[in-house]
Amino acid sequence: MRMKSLVVITLLSAFAFAILIGQAEAQHVSSNAAEVYVGVWLVNVERIDLAASSYRLDFYIWFKFNPSEIDLAKVKEFEIVNGAPTRTPEVVAQEEGRIEYRIRGEFIKTFDFTRYPFEVHTLTIELEHKNLNASRLIFKPDSESAIDETVNVAGWEIGGFEQSVVEHSYGHEAYSRYVFSLRLKRPVLSAFVKSVLPISVITTISLLTFFISPQNFGQRIGLAVSTLMAASAFHLSLLSGIPPIGYLTLADRMMLSVYAIFLYNLSVSVYIMRLVDAKRIEEAQKFNAKALKTLAILIVLLIAIQLVA
């Protein structure tokens, strides 16, 4: 029994010793990695193409480093992983331990349109070293990074920026990746006026059918159908500015609610038409009044569903 205990203690000790050696080696490798500070000064957002999932940026980028840890030739071997310069990067400043470029580049990104047309997008600049992994080079964000005060993106509000450094793995190798993120959001008032207000007006016009006499069921149905066609055309126009996606946006969910109201409106009008054809005018008038009260409940329910979703 004592022999078994001795064997177990020996194995546990060897295992713990191996872990300590591994941690010590990892710390040693990390301590040997060169540190390069990266900064970005964003000059301009030249273009944002949501339909093509791309954007074009104009910016300065610089690298600060210790020449005793890494030489200039190796620092220059960086690459932008989420896009490419539209022309060869231009060196605008170079001194001991620092080099700066002016870059105009085309970038690609899978945008999230879940909250369209009130969405927030993040434009990123992501770069890595071509050859040196995270055990040999580590990027760090420079506090001097900023957005030029003249940057103005038509149709968007700038929500600030942030910098981060993450490790990106390729199989068993990890590389240090610097990420500069610019947040853009749509102005709420502008998005409401362009997206919500028009369909609200069309739907309101359609609901005027409840105030038309049941005997004029032809005008009721004609108004409902014409406004439904206008709503469908507006829906297609609203989604023309974004790429085909496999999920519902806020605009889609809003239009589904609108279509539900139109379906209810047409169903009521058709039923009233049948009552009038059967010479049950008084019953048609009572049904129209009840349907109008139910409509208010339906609208409140659809709005609540939108808020929860």
pLDDT in tens, 11-26: 455 555 445 445 544 4
At the topology level, CATH places domain 189-308 in: Methane Monooxygenase Hydroxylase; Chain G, domain 1 (1.20.58)
- Residue that has been written with the tokens 């203690």 in this structure: 9
Q: What is the mean pLDDT of the chain?
A: 88
The pTM of the full predicted model, rounded to 2 decimals, is 0.78
Residue 69 has pLDDT above 70, yes or no: yes
> Residue 128 and residue 175: Cα distance in Å, rounded?
7
C-alpha dist (Å) from residue 32 to 128, 136, 162: 18, 7, 27
Question: Where do the CATH 1.20.58.390 domains begin and end in the chain?
Answer: 189-308
pLDDT digits (tens, 9 = 90+) for 211-243: 988 888 888 899 999 999 999 999 999 988 888
The CATH superfamily of 32-186 is Neurotransmitter-gated ion-channel ligand-binding domain (2.70.170.10)
Q: Per-residue pLDDT tens for 22-47?
A: 554 444 444 588 999 999 999 999 99
Q: Which residues contact 293 (CB under 8 A, 6 or more apart)?
A: none
User: How large a percentage of the chain has pLDDT more than 90?
Assistant: 72
Residue span(s) of the chain under CATH 2.70.170.10 come to: 32-186
Instruction: Give Cβ neighbours of residue 49 (< 8 Å, ≥ 6 apart).
Output: 55
State yes or no: pLDDT of 8 exceeds 60.
no
Contacts of 199 (CB under 8 A, 6+ apart): 231, 234, 235, 254, 255, 258
**Is 308 or 71 the better-scoring residue by pLDDT?**
71
Question: Which pLDDT score is estimated for 7?
Answer: 44
